[in-house]
Every structure is written in structure tokens, then in C-alpha cells.
Chains A and B, each alone.
Chain A
Amino acid sequence: GAVVSQHPSRVICKSGTSVKIECRSLDFQATTMFWYRQFPKQSLMLMATSNEGSKATYEQGVEKDKFLINHASLTLSTLTVTSAHPEDSSFYICSANDQGLAVQETQYFGPGTRLLVL
């Protein structure tokens, strides 16, 4: 149980285009979903926290107009990288909390999306 999927797993795009990444909880309802960015050989950097039906909370330094997050249902959150540039190339990982669990801080991670902007 507690499986999170991400799509696509890998995407290459041209500079200036927008890219949408989907994060789905497959067998549970996710109260909260998180979006992280991971640079090579580094830890995860939390970008934003999204709750179903409300606006995402962005971490300091993350541009909310550039990284649009939508959490329309308890099983789906999307991250759109708008007007992507080469410096946006990274590994993006989402995670979700299972609201049915007693230890609600347990996070279940998607497999990640590798974005390369040319």
C-alpha cells in the first residue's frame, strides 16, 4: 500500500516552454502533498506544501509564479514549471501523507521526475 506515482519520469524540453509534472497517490487519500527539488548528490530541498483545495505554501526563495502547484483532489497534485530555463534542470520529487495513518508525518515518495531544459 501507500504508493505514489509521478509522471513523466523524465522530460526534456526547450528553454521557454512549460512542463507539467503529475503526482498521484494510488491507493490512499493524501491530505498533504509536498514538492521537492534535488540537485545531484545533494539532499532534498522542500519547494512547497500543497493541501487539497487550497493554495500551496511555498518555501522562502521559491518563486510561486514560476512553479505553479495545483492540488485539485485528494489523489492528485501537479507542478508546472513555467517558462523553463536550463537552471531549472533538476530531479523533482513529490511525496504525500496518508491521512489514514496514525503517524501522519510519514511521507510516501514518488519515483521522481528528471527535467532537462535545453
Chain B
Amino acid sequence: GNSVTQMEGPVTLSEEAFLTINCTYTATGYPSLFWYVQYPGEGLQLLLKATKADDKGSNKGFEATYRKETTSFHLEKGSVQVSDSAVYFCAPAGGFKTIFGAGTRLFVKA
């Protein structure tokens, strides 16, 4: 079956540091790939997505590229802010079913 593995947290960074959260998946076929973000006490929000190989999703300074050859969709941001502190979920989706990674908690210190 499909599965997803993402970097364990928590990740603690200082403001303006570079962020990478790794995500790899196994899937039959070519799923769409998503990153969702969950702020404290809230539901999930779509952060970015990519629907085919080599597509780059981007939003709010975050980026991730659909790498078919390595089955990865790593999340990056060049300069994090305190307001980016949240839990990030990598989520491949196919056939209307989404699988969520375990989530990576990010703390950004001022």
C-alpha cells in the first residue's frame, strides 16, 4: 500500500535560518503531492501542492519539488519566521484518498 515517511521533529531553528523537512513516499502510480500546515489548536491548511513529476509547488516562501526518481517531496524555505512555527504534514494523494505523514513540528526562535 501507499506510505509516507517524513523527517522526525521537533525541528528548532532561529529566525531567518534555512529550513528543510524531508519527505519520501511509496505509491502505486503517480500521486499528487501535498504539504499541509497545522497551527496550534487549528485544523490543517493546504500549504502547497504538485501534481506531476518536476512540478514545483510554492506558497508563502515555502517550496517543494515533485521528484519522481527519488519519490521525494522535500519542503524548503530560505528564511523562516517565528510565525512559521507549526506542524507540517507531507501527504501524497491518489484516488481521492490522502495519506498523511506523522507530521514534523517546527519551532522558530526569535
Given A105-B98, A107-B98, CB of A42 within 8 Å of CB of B103? yes
CA distance A49 to B95 in the complex (A): 12
Given A103-B32, A103-B49, CB of A44 within 8 Å of CB of B96? no
Within 8 A of B (CB), among A57-107: 93, 95, 97, 103-107
Interface residues of A (CB under 8 A from B): 4, 6, 32, 34, 41-44, 46, 49, 93, 95, 97, 103-112
User: Is residue B36 contacting chain A, with contact meaning CB distance below 8 A?
Assistant: yes
Given A43-B102, A44-B89, A103-B51, CB of A109 within 8 Å of CB of B45? yes
What total of chain B residues lie within 8 Å of the partner, measured CB to CB?
22
Q: Are B97 and A49 in contact (CB under 8 A)?
A: yes
29 A-B residue pairings within 8 Å (CB atoms): A4-B43, A6-B43, A41-B105, A42-B102, A42-B103, A43-B100, A43-B102, A43-B103, A44-B89, A44-B100, A46-B98, A49-B97, A93-B44, A103-B32, A103-B49, A103-B51, A105-B32, A105-B34, A105-B93, A105-B96, A105-B98, A106-B46, A107-B98, A108-B46, A109-B43, A109-B44, A109-B45, A112-B42, A112-B43
CA distance A49 to B97 in the complex (A): 9
Tell me what chain B mostly uses at the interface: helix, strand, loop, or mixed.
strand
Q: Are A106 and B103 in contact (CB under 8 A)?
A: no
Which chain B residue shows the least CB distance to A10? B41
B residues less than 8 Å from A110 (CB atoms): 43
CA distance A6 to B93 in the complex (A): 23
Given A93-B43, A97-B96, A103-B32, CB of A43 within 8 Å of CB of B89? yes
CA distance A18 to B53 in the complex (A): 46
Q: B68-110 CB contact bits vs A (8 Å, 1 = yes)?
A: 0000000000000000000001000110111011110100000
Which chain A residue shows the least CB distance to B102? A43
Which chain B residue shows the least CB distance to A108? B46
B residues less than 8 Å from A103 (CB atoms): 32, 49, 51
